[in-house]
A and B are shown apart, each in its own frame.
Chain A
Amino acid sequence: MKNKLEKLREDFLAALDSVTDLSSLRDLEIKYLSRKGELSGLLGGLKDLGIDIRREAGELANVIKQELQLRFNETKNNFEKKAEKNSQLDPTIPGKKIEGGHLHPLTLLKREMEDFFATLGFQVMDGPEIESEFYNFEALNVPPHHPARDMQDTFYVDLKNKDGEYDLAMRSQTSNTQVRAMQKYGSPLRMIMPGRVFRSEATDARHEHTFYQLEGMVIDKDINFAHMKNILEAVGKKLYGPETKIRMRPKFYPFVEPGSNGEYTCFLCQGKGCRVCKNSGWLEIVGCGLIHPNVLRAGGIDPEKYSGFAFGFGLNRLAMLKYGIDDVRLFNSGDMRFLKQF
């Protein structure tokens, strides 16, 4: 037994000296030191010996075992240190790529605006996309056959009412939600109404039949034009920086009186004139006005007691300006090469 142990010790040490790399060292470990290795095998044989010899051999076996383990560890350490020195670990190599998900750019813009208006105390409301002529037009002071209906080419839904007329449209503007909001919440009111709208027009890089607007509305006692200007100025500064100015000019919308278009200083050229603003220095961004008394009345609000203003943006246009997108059709294209950029 003793001899066997000595022999094993010598074999092991000799083999250890001739080991040249970590992998043959591991082989050595398996052969001699592992649970099923030769040393364990010998130790397993101890139980067959007489008690005295067993003790003596056992002590020797432990000494040898410790020595071998020690020598093994030393060698292993040396190899590892060497290996560390030699290794070409490059700390600048990137990690394994994890592809992230992406929200749609219009979602991002819609949230940005919602959050901005939330700080000003505006609540958000959604409205239907198939809308009755009543909410899309009549309640907004656009009677049937008013030429203002030409301002928007409207899709009609093929469902006739009792009088045999088409009276359902794909909403042509988020303004349809104005009167719904008034009916639901009454006055005072601070509300924005973002959503999908539709116009029956052929598509190209600048025209889409399906796009997004964000409508806003404030109703309270003594709301005036100066208040509207103030809020819209704040929007401009939020969108295009603290130096942004607003220029307002008259524009007819049947649901407001007076009606206006708001233009902001072009953020690309700071008002000097460039391709994006068609050399005017101004970007036409928002339609607005004081809410027409007929619209307030349709919403059940007394125009003698309350007044208000309303405004609307095209979210697609804001996104195109913000991200430099030159083709409006990309938004509904589902093209992942586009969507992964936001």
Chain B
Amino acid sequence: MYLSLNWLKDFVKIPNKMRPEELAQLLTLHTVEVESWQTQSDDFAKVVVGKVLSVKPHPNADRLRLCQVDVKKEILDIVCGAPNVESGQRVAVALVGATLPNGLTIKESEIRGEKSLGMICAEDELGLGIDHEGIMVLDKNAKIGQEFAAYLNLNDIILEIDNKSLSNRGDLWGHYGMAREISTLLKMPLVPYLKIDEKLLIPSGKEKISVKIEDKRICSRYIAVKINNVKIVESPNWLKEKLAAVNVRPINVLVDITNYVMFESGQPLHVFDAGKIQKISIGLSKKDEGIETLDGKEYLLPEDTIVIRDGSEPIAVAGIMGGANSAVNENTTSVILEAATFDAVYVRKSSQKLNLRTDASMRFEKTLDPTLPEKAWQKAWQLIKEILPEAELAGDIVDVVNFDLNQEQISLDFSWLKKKIGKQISRKEVQNILERLGFLVEINKNVLMVTPPSWRAVKDVTIKEDILEEVIRIIGYDNIPTAALSNALSFLPENKELLLERRVQDILSGSGRMLEVYNYSFVSESSLSKLNINSSRYLKLVNPISEQQALLRQSLLPGLLQNVRLNQFNYSEFGLFEIGRIFLPLPGEYIKDAKGDFLPYQGKRLGLMVAGQDTNKVFESLKSYVELLLNSLWPQIKSEYTALENLPTWVKSGQAAAIYCHGKEIGVVGLLDDKLANNFALKLKTAFAEINFKELLALDNILPINQYQESPKYPAVIRDLSFVVDEKMLYNDFWRTLISFHPLLIQAELFDIYQGDALGAGKKSWAFHLTYQSNDKTLTTEEVDLIQKELIQVCHDKFEAQIRNF
């Protein structure tokens, strides 16, 4: 929203020596943030007053003329297309280098072979009107060479306020509301909004308007006034300038006046052509009801839209935009002026559904003061009468009142105020602040009783904390001292999940030397189909940014694969990990609301990705990372891989396994299928592991703290033994047999895998270091031999394993 300093000065005295940045800072520190400010004359930099010395036809174009224009410093040749240019005229000349309000930048140019060193401007090019019929002809006495801004008397400063920061303050959506704030801050008196001669309100005729409100909830106030003998003419300059200052295009005198009053008071107004209306009714939209709005667009009205109708014909979308069928035009001679308060929620919903946000709808949706329409229509009428003296009120005004202002007294204790601020503020100062803001204040001993003014009572001031805010912001947050919190600590249980997350991150980025990545929570259907994943069971966004980011991820894999694709041109071998949530359409652990439902599942996963040149190496190194992690977390706990029954869709022929840790399945490791890698345009081989973080946490919670074990007193006997087995045999089944075979066989470490002609077709060999050790004595060769002999027999019986002879 734009604020004109001159306009503010209509209502409050702002010292001339106050610099714009000081005013901006004052509002920023006490009311709302001023985003920027600018001097209005900046708009017309390099636009000057010139005098047309001569006009000659263009030799190569019938419609163009060659002009010589005196701009005092020099005489410029300018090609002009306007039919009304004549020698002797004073005109606005945009010099080379000027950028006009419509965005056009003037350059030295050649038009059909003739040089042109500037432009003679039309009104619309200067942002001063819509006229493009011809150039703007200035006053005969305009000073040649004068800055155009000075000619226009542009000396205003424009402040820009962030609309979003005003979303709770409907009262600040006009100059008067801001003037009220400034008057409070500067301790300067505020000029009353309206001073009207009561005689002006006496109607000349006895015409009646029929107004019916079908539903009291949707419209708390509706004032309709019929005004006859109006003329649709251009607005006087002062009015156009005011509107131009806040970036509003002048249209005609009646529309301009309604806009003027809106930007001043915050109350939107509308004018209908009275000749086109019989009976006004206000109700909710019906099925299939449509309207063509003022701007010529057709809309089908959404359900629960407030509609103004003439009989059964919609003539306006209430609070948003008027209809084309009832709009004023050059033939209009009488109008109905509407000043109403429509329900904020209805207006907001419809405006969103129609995707139509207007200056009016932005104000209505903030909840407006229902006493405001009265002042606003009177102000508008006052202006109409001033500009069009023949205009008259056709009859009594219609004023439907459906509201009951909830101006309840709010009472609070001075001691409460002190307790909340952390500083004593004098009673007098509190009273003073509130009264300047328009609150009624009564003090009874230690109790302050405050009645908010109508413009604050509708929405944002209802409880004592709101009063606290008013006091504290006017004093200034910067004037509040600081105070240390007490040292009494409340001991809350530590966040174990977070601590485990840190340990995992540290192991993988530390001794694992991997890189941590953060990927989006969203994936695309196309990237899932590349992985043979059916996306029908995926949660979707209603309003995604794009199709690439439309589904909620159910695995960290797609994101990590994209990371590989991005990085494979810069790095040939690397490991990445990510900890993040996945989302499933099942009830999860978080409560949704008081009804006892649960939010969708959104557990954390740890994803590990290894990329490199060689298939076997990436899979092996991925598993090394998994083992490094588990072993670093819990040095005494065993982990293993077991065959998976249901293979993930992305796995290369059987190359996936479940990760078991301490007897619990916690995740999966797998090698990416080559075809899918191709789909993803990967030139590197990749292996991926995904671990359920909750399972990891559960393990961490149940595992006892490692207990110290004395180092063995007696030497170990290590025997190397190589078994020849069928090539389809899974390692883990075999290993389990070895390790659980005898209490004295404490370790079986695979150190070599071999497959080759020497073994025969369909065979492979595994070579183990077998460690035998006792806590009670030194083992003899005979004891070890005996155990090993039985072991060989069991392996033979169970797996048809042969001992390999070298």
Contact = CB atoms under 8 A, between A and B. Distances in A.
A99 B574 CA distance: 10
**Size category, B interface:** 35 or more
Contacts of A290: 420, 465, 468
Interface stretch (B23-31, B64-72, B403-411): B23-31
Contacts of B249: none
A135 B469 CA distance: 25
Interface in A118-148: 120-121, 123-132, 134-135, 144-145, 147-148
Contacts of B166: 252
A225 B600 CA distance: 38
A248 to B, nearest CB: 4
A220 B483 CA distance: 14
B205 interface: no
Contacts of B566: 333-335
B309 interface: no
Contacts of B481: 226, 229
A43 to B, nearest CB: 32
A135 B593 contact: yes
A128 B477 CA distance: 33
A20 interface: no
Given A103-B505, A168-B600, A340 B521 contact: no
Contacts of B521: 129, 170, 196, 198, 210
B599 A131 contact: yes
Nearest to A139: B593
B552 A189 contact: no
A131 B594 CA distance: 13
A230 B477 contact: no
Contact of A226 (B365, B483, B515, B585): B483
A123 B515 contact: no
Contacts of A257: 463, 465-466, 468-469
B600 A150 contact: no
Contacts, number: 245
A188 interface: yes
Contacts of B466: 257
A64 interface: no
Given A225-B480, A257-B465, A249 B519 contact: no
A339 B516 contact: yes
Given A129-B581, A257-B468, A337 B570 contact: yes
Interface string B773-796: 000000000000000000000000
Most chain B C-beta atoms within 10 Å of own C-beta, residue among A168, A230, A249, A334: A334
B154 interface: no
A126 B519 CA distance: 18
Given A148-B168, A233-B482, A258-B468, A331 B518 contact: yes
Interface stretch (B191-199, B489-497, B663-671): B489-497
A209 B520 CA distance: 9
Interface string B450-480: 0000000000000101101100110001101
B567 interface: yes
Chain A residues touching B, majority SS: mixed
Nearest to B600: A130
A231 interface: yes
**Size category, A interface:** 35 or more
A252 B502 contact: no
A148 B167 contact: yes
A101 B513 contact: yes
Contacts of A180: 590
A224 B167 contact: no
Contact of B348 (A130, A135, A145): A145
17 contacts: A101-B514, A106-B518, A128-B602, A132-B599, A134-B593, A147-B365, A157-B542, A159-B600, A225-B480, A229-B482, A250-B473, A257-B465, A257-B468, A259-B469, A334-B562, A336-B570, A339-B515
Given A230-B484, A290-B420, A331-B518, 19 more contacts: A101-B510, A107-B505, A123-B492, A123-B495, A126-B497, A126-B498, A130-B602, A145-B344, A156-B542, A189-B492, A209-B545, A210-B521, A249-B30, A251-B33, A251-B165, A252-B168, A257-B468, A258-B469, A332-B520
Give the 6 A-B residue pairs with the shortest CB-CB distance, closest first.
Answer: A226-B422, A258-B469, A334-B563, A101-B509, A248-B477, A134-B593
Interface of B: 28-33, 164-169, 344-345, 348-349, 365-366, 419-423, 463, 465-466, 468-469, 472-473, 477-478, 480-486, 489-490, 492-495, 497-498, 502, 505, 508-510, 512-522, 539-545, 549, 552, 559-560, 562-563, 566-567, 570-571, 574-576, 580-581, 583, 585, 588, 590, 592-594, 599-600, 602
Interface of A: 98-104, 106-107, 111, 114, 120-121, 123-132, 134-135, 144-145, 147-148, 150-151, 155-159, 166, 168, 170, 180, 185, 188-191, 196, 198, 200-203, 209-210, 218, 220, 222-227, 229-231, 233, 247-252, 254, 257-261, 290, 292-293, 307, 331-337, 339-340
